[in-house]
Structure 1
Amino acid sequence: MVTRSRGARRVISSRSAPAALAAGLLAILVALPLGIGGTGDAQAIPARTADQLLIRYKQLGIDAEKTAESMHNAQIEYDKQRRLVVTSRRAAATAQRSLDQSQVQLDLYQGRVDSIVRASYRGARINGLYAVLVSDSPQSLLDQMSGLDMIARQAARDLTNLKQARKRAASAKVDAERAATTATEAVSRVERVRGNLQTKRANMQLQAIQIRAVYKSMTGKQLAELQGPKFTFDPRLVPRGTSLPLIAVQAALTRIGDPYVWGATGPNSFDCSGLMVWAYKQAGKTLPRSSEAQLASGRAIDRNNLEPGDLIIYYPGATHVGMYVGDGYVIHASTFGVPVKVVPIDEAGPYNAARRY
């Protein structure tokens, strides 16, 4: 159950205001267009006042996190397609070897059958009547008949084997062609996904440059408001135990104060899903890399039944994630300029769903 206790308290953080930057530079920074891949919400707000600049910065951060998580999804798909390429190429090589072996057997049986046909064409006598005519004694007749019977049985086996070899060769040829086509298509897919991934990485770099520029233009008051209230969480509220979720929570709490960095998975900087991956890695469990993939995995948990270690997914598009630590609080890496921190569940964003691993 999600509960509140006196173990967590709210303390407003304060920061001294840095020296103000030149007015001309600030005007240029606030006039920057919204980052590529953004929602466009911040663009509708002319960032001319200090409050508007802060609003715009927060929206830029949300948009950048969407791009970052989308980039992680593209990386997951790229890795998946690369594995398919390897698997497909191996299957194609195996199918080709099978075809080659079938062709060798086909040639062997075809040669045996052809030799019998050629012998008959040249007038060789291999039937029972011929054995009776040429035999000069009962024993000779038995020997002749036995030999002819063996030849006939071998010829029948060769014909049967030839038919089977032809069937196997035809099937192997179809398999080899299908496997080769699959491998070719897999290569094409992975190239397309790689192009998409490279585009997202480029967009992320552009957004990061813009966000850092706007961040540097903000005053101490704006930075303090950006970081928001500071909530202290007593780690003793986390139940004792050696289960994977509890180990993950304990690991995550050691990273409070570490900086937010897009694409980082620790050990000293994180993005939102990267913090979840790192924390569970300390418990020996591998989590999917993106918040969307983390939503798609694990077991769905009702909000009223949250336990420490559960992942809470935020926003309709599952673009942010935090870890429930107990007492109604979640630890998360929120945005550039705001370190890893513990906040009330709803302070981390619009609640979407929860997953247990």
Structure 2
Amino acid sequence: MAPHRRHSPKRLAGGILAAAVLATAPCAAGPAAADPVALPSTASEAVARMIELSRSSDQLNQQALDAQADLDAKLAVQNDAEALLATKTDAVNAARDEVRKFQPVIDRTAIAAYQGARTNRMFAVLVSDSPQQLLDQMSMLDVVETQTTDQLKQFKKAGDAAAAAEAAAHSAADAARAAATRAEEVRADLERKRGELGGAIAQVVEAWTSLSVRDKAAWAGSPFPPGFDRDTLLQGLVPGSGTSALAAGLTRVGDPYVWGATGPDQFDCSGLVQWAFKQVGKNVPRTSSQQANFGTPVKKSDMQPGDVVFFYPEISHVGIYAGNGLMLHASTFGVPVAVAPISSTPFHSARRY
């Protein structure tokens, strides 16, 4: 997210030359690292170095935000997996208790069978002294057999449920462990990106503090381009539309750019977009890459004020289209929220929310 304007090399030369020995922050998807030893030989090279430092830092900022969002998602999966494991563990315990309820019956049946208990109908015929006694014996045998069969069925059902519950619990435990491992991997990646971002920010801040007041003003530029007519732009805006989000965002012109900020009085690029749409009741994702998958795609030739525009191949910058080839955006460190041409930044795509 480099500054989207060019300044007089003479005005910027003094301060930036003093900071020109700073190396570009590490960034896997960013521009090639500058030589940390070589000094810029011209004011133009000094300006390019400052732009490069800011661009790399802004890019790292979005990467760190993406990593944080990924970590949050992984932690949610982990929490769900651990909750499921607790539920499955409770089910196992309940199933085991159910099995234990039938164990005495199973034990008595097994002992009776082992001891050769005579409980069949032929035995009843042999030992009965009268037809009535035979009927009574056989009725009693039917009852015992039915009860035993039912209890055996319930015992088997409880045993099967316990086995299934244990299998589910093992699966849930494996899922919870895997989720925890993935979360820790993402956490480590996030900490690495945060470390890189911290180093990059320190370089940019050091370069910024070396600039004179006049150079800082030149770097910040103007909040509005010549001829920009806010009132005409916002005529007939529809509540809750992209144009109304643009109107909300325009109230923040002049607020400072701060890495990772989401308002209400300081922003990074995606933070400004999220804040503006939140003011009109739309919950937009946090990072520029996430925002590039939100809403519906719009061709560049069909863009309307209030559409969201994305820049650079890796989608590391975002703004809100303001019509006539202009956009509202939080550019980079030292450049407040402003309206600027979209042509100064490599266009990627546009979406309508």
TM-score higher than 0.5? yes
Instruction: Figure out how many residues of one structure are paired with residues of the other and give that number.
Output: 338
- What whole-Å deviation, never above 9, does each CA across 1:246-271 have from its counterpart, x for those lacking one? 33222111111110000000000000
Q: Does 1:350 align with 2:346?
A: yes
Paired letter, 2:300: R
Residue equivalent to 2:3: none
How far, CA to CA, are the matches of 2:136 and 2:243 in structure 1? 86
Paired letter, 1:353: S
Contact 2:17–2:40 (8 Å) recurs in 1? no
What runs of 5+ residues in structure 2 fail to find an aligned partner? Answer: 1-5
How far, CA to CA, are the matches of 1:268 and 1:326 in structure 2? 24
**Cα pair distance change 1:52/1:158, threshold 3 Å:** same
How far, CA to CA, are the matches of 1:297 and 1:27 in structure 2? 42
- What whole-Å deviation, never above 9, does each CA across 1:53-81 have from its counterpart, x for those lacking one? 11110111111111000001000100001
SS of aligned partner of 1:296 = coil
**Cα pair distance change 1:94/1:281, threshold 3 Å:** same
**Cα pair distance change 1:328/1:32, threshold 3 Å:** closer
How far, CA to CA, are the matches of 1:29 and 1:326 in structure 2? 37
SS of aligned partner of 1:250 = helix
How far, CA to CA, are the matches of 1:53 and 1:223 in structure 2? 14
Residue equivalent to 1:7: none
Residue equivalent to 1:187: 180
Residue equivalent to 1:147: 140
Specify which of 89, 111, 116 is matched with residue 82 of structure 2. Answer: 89
What runs of 5+ residues in structure 1 fail to find an aligned partner? Answer: 1-11
How far, CA to CA, are the matches of 1:46 and 1:124 in structure 2? 102
Contact 2:25–2:33 (8 Å) recurs in 1? no
Deviation at 1:221, TM superposition (A): 5.3
Residue equivalent to 1:202: 195
Paired letter, 1:40: A
Aligned positions of 1:1-357 closer than 5 A: 29-37=19-27, 39-40=31-32, 42-43=34-35, 46-220=39-213, 222-228=215-221, 230-231=224-225, 232-238=228-234, 239-347=236-344, 349-357=345-353
Deviation at 1:39, TM superposition (A): 2.2
SS of aligned partner of 2:292 = helix
Greater mean alpha carbon deviation, residues 29-38 or residues 198-207: 29-38
Deviation at 1:319, TM superposition (A): 0.5
Contact 2:23–2:34 (8 Å) recurs in 1? no
Aligned sequence identity (%): 36
Contact 1:302–1:354 (8 Å) recurs in 2? yes
Paired letter, 2:32: G
- What whole-Å deviation, never above 9, does each CA across 1:255-298 have from its counterpart, x for those lacking one? 11110000000000000000011111112222111111111222
Contact 2:23–2:33 (8 Å) recurs in 1? no
Paired letter, 2:125: V
Contact 1:249–1:325 (8 Å) recurs in 2? yes
SS of aligned partner of 2:254 = coil
How far, CA to CA, are the matches of 2:135 and 2:305 in structure 1? 90
Contact 1:312–1:355 (8 Å) recurs in 2? yes
Contact 1:42–1:60 (8 Å) recurs in 2? no
Greater RCO, CA 8 A, separation 6+:
1
Give the aligned CA root-mean-square deviation in angstroms: 2.5
Deviation at 1:111, TM superposition (A): 3.4
